[in-house]
Structure 1
Amino acid sequence: MGTAMTEVQRGARTYPLGVSRPELAVEDLPTPEEVFRVKRIGFRQLVMFVVGPSLIALGISIGSGEWLLGPQAVGQYGFVGVGWVIVVSAVLQTFYNVECARYVVATGEAPVVGWGRVPPGKMLWIPLSVFLVIFAFIAGGWAASAGQGLFALVNGRVADASEVQQTRWYAIGLLIVVFLITAAARRISRALELSNWVMVGFILVTLVVVDLIVVPWSVWWEGIRGFVTPAAPPAGITATQLGALAGFTALASGLNWYVMGHYRDKGYGMGHRTGYIAGMRGSRRELMSVGVTFPDDERNASRWRRWYRFLMVDMWGVFFVGAMLGMLLPTVLMAQAVAISGEQPTTANVPTFVASALQPEYGSGMFYLLLLMGVLILFSTQLGIFEGMVRVVTDAAPTLSPRLRELVEGDPRRFYYPFMIVLLVAISVIMHLAVPVALVQFSANMSNLGALIYPFMLIYLNSRLPKVARPRPWHYVILLLNFLFFGFFFVNFVADAFGDPLITF
C-alpha cells in the first residue's frame, strides 16, 4: 500500500492495486463541469445531470421490497416488529452502496471487475460473483409479478389459476420491452435514468395522493411508529419472509454492487476516463478493460471531495429518502386495504391485492390507477434487474477471456445484446417454476448471501485507494454490521430451508 502511494506521488503512470489484474493507469480526476459539460453545478444542473444512478437503484428497490415484500409482511403481521427491520436494512444498505460506489468513482472499474483484485484473484472472485448475481435473480419473480399486474390492467380483473400462463406471456413481453429500450438508447445508463425519472416520479406522486385520500392518520401514525420502534418480530412470521424483507428493502443487500457500475457509465470521477456501454444508436465507444486512478496531490484531492459530495447527495438525498418513502407509502396503503377488505394478502395475490381490495369502495377508476402504478413499479424493477444482470456479465466476461476481449474489440455491445437475448430466453423458461412472490423471496434471501462476502472485499480494496479516497475507520465498522445483519438472515434462511431455523418467531 505504501509503495503504491509513493509511486503516485513521484508521478508514476501506474498504480498497483491488489492481485491478478493489471496495475491501474494514473491520470487527473476530471472536474464535474468537464464531465457534464456545464459552466457550474447548481441545483438545476445537479438534478438534470448529476443525479442518476440512484434512480436506477431506486426503481429496482421500489418494485421488489417496497411494493411486494414489505406490504405483504405488514398486511399479515402489522407494523411493529417489521418496520424496524426495514429502517435498519435501508440505512445499512445505503452505507454499503456508498462504499461500492467509492471504488467505482476512484478507479473507473465496475465492482465485478474490481473483485478480481482481491486475493486469491480473478479466477475465483469474478466467476463466483457473476454466478451469485445470476443465481439470485434468474428465477424471474420480478418479471412474473410485473406480468400479473399487466394482465389485470389489460383485462380489468385479476388472473385466476387457469390464466397463470397468460400472465407469464405478459412478463415475457415486458422483457422484450427492456431489450427495445436498451437497443434504442445512445447511452444505456442514461436511458435507464430517464425511464426511472418518469416511472419513479409518477409512482411516488400517485402514492402520496392516493394515501392522503384513502389512509386515515391513525394508520399513518402506526406506520411511522412501526419504523422507529425496535421490537421482536411478530409471532408467526417465518425466517424466509423476514430475511426476504431485510434483503430487498432498499435494494439487494449484499449484492447491491451489481448496480453501482452505473456510476462508471454516468462518468462519475474516473468513470469518465474508462468509458461506458453505448446503445445501438450510440457511436462506437471503447470501454477500457483496466481502470484508472488519480495522483495523490491537493488538486485531485479537492476534486475527489466534490465527487464524493455528489455521491452522498445521490445516495442519501435521493436513494435513501426515496426508498423510505417507497416503503412507507405502500405499506400504509396495504394496511388500510386489509382493514377495508377484511382479507390478508398472499404470495399469489400481493401484486394486485390493493387494487382489488379498494375497488368496491372507491370504484373502477381507483382499481385501474393502482394497477397502472403497480405495473410501473414492477416494470421499473424488471428494467433494472434484467439490464443489470446483462451488464455484470458484459463487464466480467472480457476480463476473464482474452479471446473474447479480442472478439469484442473494445465494443461491449458485441457481447451485451446477444447475451441479453440468451438471458431473456432463460428467464422466460425459469419463471414457470413457482408463483412470482415466492420467487422474489428466494432472490431476496440469496442477496443476503452476498453480505457474507463482499463487505470484506470492499474493506480490502477501499483501504488501498489513494489516501483521500479511503474510507474513515467507522465506515469499516458499518460494513461489518452489514455482514452481521444480513448474514444472520441468510444463515437462518438456509437452516429453515433444510430443517429448522436457528431462531423462530
Structure 2
Amino acid sequence: MFWASVGFVGCILISLGSNIVRKTVERILTAQVIIMWFILLICVFTLTSMNDWIKFFKSLVENFGKIPPDISWWTLASAVCFIGAGGISNIWYTFWIRDAGFGMGSLIGKIPGWRGKKTSIKLSGYLPKPTKENMRRVKSWISNLHKAFWLVFFLMNFLAISLFAVLSNVVLHRRNLVPSGFEIAVVQAEIFQSVAGRFGYFIFLFMIAMLLWGTQLSICEGIVRQLADTTYLVSRKVRKFVKRDIRKWYFYLFILFAVWGMVWIVLQEFFSELIKPDFFLFLSANIGLISQLISLVMLLYFQYFIARKYLPKRLWDIYKPHPIRTVILLLTACFWGYFVGMAWMEKLGLLS
C-alpha cells in the first residue's frame, strides 16, 4: 500500500514540476526503459542459454494458435489485451503525437505542466494546403509514425515479452514452480539471488519496480490526458470553468484520479477478502478489450466514411491506408472479437 501510494504521489509531482508534461514523461519513461532493458539483459545472459532460446522459438512455432486447456478465457483475454500496449491505451499515442508537434499537431497546442504557461488548446484542427512541398512533408510525417510504431510498439514489445517468457520458463518451469499474485516477482528474485547473490535479488526486484512504476505513470498520464482533452474540447462549461486553461483541468483530473486510486488501495488493504486486485485487473483488461474493438470499428468508419468524403482528394490519396493495413485491422477486429465473446460468455456462465 505504501509504495503504491508513493507511486501515485510521484506521478503527480512529475506532472506538477513539468514545463511540458509530455516531454518530462517521455524522458522518464525513456530512462526507465533503458535501465529495465539493461537489467533484463543481464538476467537473460546470466540465467539462459542458446538452447533455451531455440526451444522457445521452436515452441512458438509448434504451438502457434493453440489455446492452453487449463486457462480460463477470462484470464486469456486479459493477456491478449495487455500484450503490447493493449486496450484503449493505443489511442493515447495520438495525444502524445499532437503534443510532440508532429505534422499539423504543432498548430493545435500542447498540455503544459504546472510550471508551464497558460495554454488554450485549439478546438478545431487544420489541413495542410495541397502543395507539392506540403504533400512531401505529409508523407514524411506518416513514414515517421509508421517507423515509430514498428520499432517501439511492435519490435520492442515483442522482444521484451520474449525475454520475460524465456526467463519465466527457465526460472519457474524447470523448478515446477507456479507462483501467483505478487509472489511471482519475489520467487524469481530469490532464484536469481541463488545465481548472483544478494545484489541479484535486489537488482531483479528493482527492475520489476521500474517496470510497474513506469506502467503506473504512463497509465495515469494517458487516462487523465484523454479525459482532459476530450471533456475540454466537447464541453463549453469545462472551458468556462477553467477559463480556457486546459492545464488547470488536466491537473484537477490528475489529482482526482490519484486520490481515487489511493482510496482503492486503502480499501483493498483493509478489505482484502472482498476487494481482490486481480479481479479489477482482469475486469479492466476485458473492458479495455471491448473498448479497443470498438475503437477499431470507429477507426475504419472514420477512414472510409468521414475522411474519404471530406478530405481533398490529394490529401486522401496520401492519408488513405494501404489495403493490406485495412485487412490487418479487420482480422484484428475478428481476433479481438473472438476473445471478447468467449471471455464474457464464460463470465456470464454461457459456456459449458
Name the TM-score, length of structure 2 as normaliser: 0.89
Q: Indicate conservation of the 8 Å contact 1:199/1:376, yes or no.
A: yes
Deviation sequence 1:134-192 (CA, Å, 0-9, x none): xxxxxxxxxxxxxxxxxxxxxxxxxxxxxxxxxx2220111010000111111111111
SS in 2 for 1:279: coil
Which deviations, in whole Å up to 9, do the C-alpha atoms of 1:347-402 show, x marking residues without a partner? 34224332133323432111100000000000110000011111111011122321
In the other structure, the counterpart of 2:295 is 454
Q: 1:187 to 1:501 in 2, by over 3 A?
A: farther
Offset of residue 435 of structure 1: 4.1
**Corresponding position of 1:486:** 336
Give the AA of the match of 1:490: V
Runs of 4+ residues over 4 Å off in structure 1? none
CA 1:320/1:258 → structure 2, altered by over 3 Å: closer, same or farther? Answer: same
1:209 is aligned to 2:35: no
Distance 1:321 1:300, change over 3 A: same
Give me the whole-angstrom Cα distance separating, in 2, the residues matched to 1:430 and 1:371.
24
Encode CA deviations 1:65-95: one digit per residue, 9 max, x unaligned.
Answer: xxxxxxxxxxxxxxxxxxxxxxxxxxxxxxx
**From 382, 388, 407, the counterpart of 2:216:** 382
SS at match of 1:478: helix
Find the counterpart in structure 2 of residue 443 from structure 1: 284
Aligned residue identity for 2:86:
A
User: One-letter code of the match for 2:194?
Assistant: P
Give 1:310 deviation, angstroms: 1.0
Structure 2 residue aligned with 1:397: 231
- Among 225, 236, 252, which residue is 1:418 paired with? 252
Query: Does the CA-based 8 Å contact 1:253-1:486 persist in structure 2?
Result: no
Pairing partner for 2:148 from 314, 320, 326:
314
Is 1:365 the counterpart of 2:194 in the alignment?
A: no
Q: What is the aligned-residue identity percentage?
A: 25
Secondary structure of the equivalent of 1:453?
Answer: helix
Contact kept, 8 Å, 1:348 with 1:436, in 2: the verdict is no
- The letter for the 1-side match of 2:322 is R
The aligned residue for residue 198 of structure 1 is 31
8 Å CA contact retained: 1:285, 1:411: yes
Bigger mean CA deviation after superposition, 376-385 or 493-502: 493-502
Q: Secondary structure at the match of 2:102?
A: coil
1:151-230 counterparts in 2 under 5 A?
168-229=1-62, 230=64
Q: Do 1:451 and 1:482's aligned partners in 2 also have CA atoms closer than 8 Å?
A: no
1:268 to 99, 102, 107: 102
Cα distance per residue 1:388-443 (max 9 Å; x no partner):
11111101112232121123333211111111111111112234264444433322
> Deviations along 1:182-237, whole A, 9 cap, x unmatched?
11111111111100111001111211121011112222222223334424112211
Q: Does 1:245 align with 2:86?
A: no
Residue 261 of structure 2 aligns to a residue in which SS? Answer: helix
Indicate how the Cα distance of structure 1 residues 297 and 353 shifts in structure 2: closer, same or farther if over 3 A, else same.
farther
- CA 1:186 to 1:258, structure 2 compared with 1: closer, same or farther past 3 Å? same
Aligned to 2:271: none
Which deviates further from its counterpart, 431-440 or 445-454? 431-440
Instruction: Report SS of the residue matched to 2:130.
Output: coil
Which amino acid in the other structure matches residue 289 of structure 2? N
> Where does the alignment leave 5 or more consecutive residues of structure 1 unmatched?
1-167
Contact kept? 2:239, 2:246, Cα under 8 Å: no
* Structure-2 change in CA distance of 1:373 and 1:303 (3 Å): same
Residues 288 and 410 in structure 1, CA contact (< 8 A), matched pair in contact too: no
Which residue matches 2:349?
499
Q: Does the aligned pair in 1 maintain the 2:119–2:245 contact within 8 Å?
A: yes
Q: In terms of mean alpha carbon deviation, does 347-356 or 317-326 score higher?
A: 347-356
Give the Cα–Cα distance (whole angstroms) in 2 for the partners of residues 319 and 456 of structure 1: 21
Deviations 1:297-318 (A, max 9, x none): 3222111111011111211122
CA distance in 2, matches of 1:186, 1:331: 38
Query: What is the root-mean-square deviation in Å for CA atoms of aligned residues?
Result: 1.9
**Secondary structure, in 3 states, of the residue corresponding to 2:161?**
helix
Residues 1:257 and 2:91 are matched in the alignment: yes
- The answer to whether the Cα contact below 8 Å between 1:340 and 1:357 also exists between their aligned partners in 2 is no
Could you tell me how far 1:290 is from its partner in structure 2?
1.7
Gaps of 5+ in 2: 269-273
Letter in 1 for 2:82: F
2:327 paired residue number: 477
Q: Which residue of 1 aligns with 2:166?
A: 332
In 2: Cα distance, 1:453 partner to 1:344 partner: 35
Q: Distance in 2 between matches of 1:358 and 1:340?
A: 14
Contact 1:445 1:490 in 2 (8 A): yes
The equivalent of 1:43 in structure 2 is none
Q: Secondary structure, in 3 states, of the residue corresponding to 2:183?
A: coil
CA distance in 2 between counterparts of 1:228 and 1:271 reads 42
Cα–Cα, structure 1 residues 259 and 436, in superposed 2: closer, same or farther, change >3 Å?
farther
- What is the one-letter code of the residue matched to 1:424? A
Deviation at 1:481, TM superposition (A): 1.5
- Deviations along 1:445-500, one digit per CA (max 9) or x if unpaired, are 22210233111211222331431212123322222112111121111111111114
For residues 99-114 of structure 1, the aligned pairs below 5 Å read none
Higher helix share: 2
How many residue pairs get matched?
335
Change (3 A) 1:258 1:398: same
Name the SS of the counterpart of 1:359 in structure 2: helix
Q: Normalized against structure 1, the TM-score is what? A: 0.63
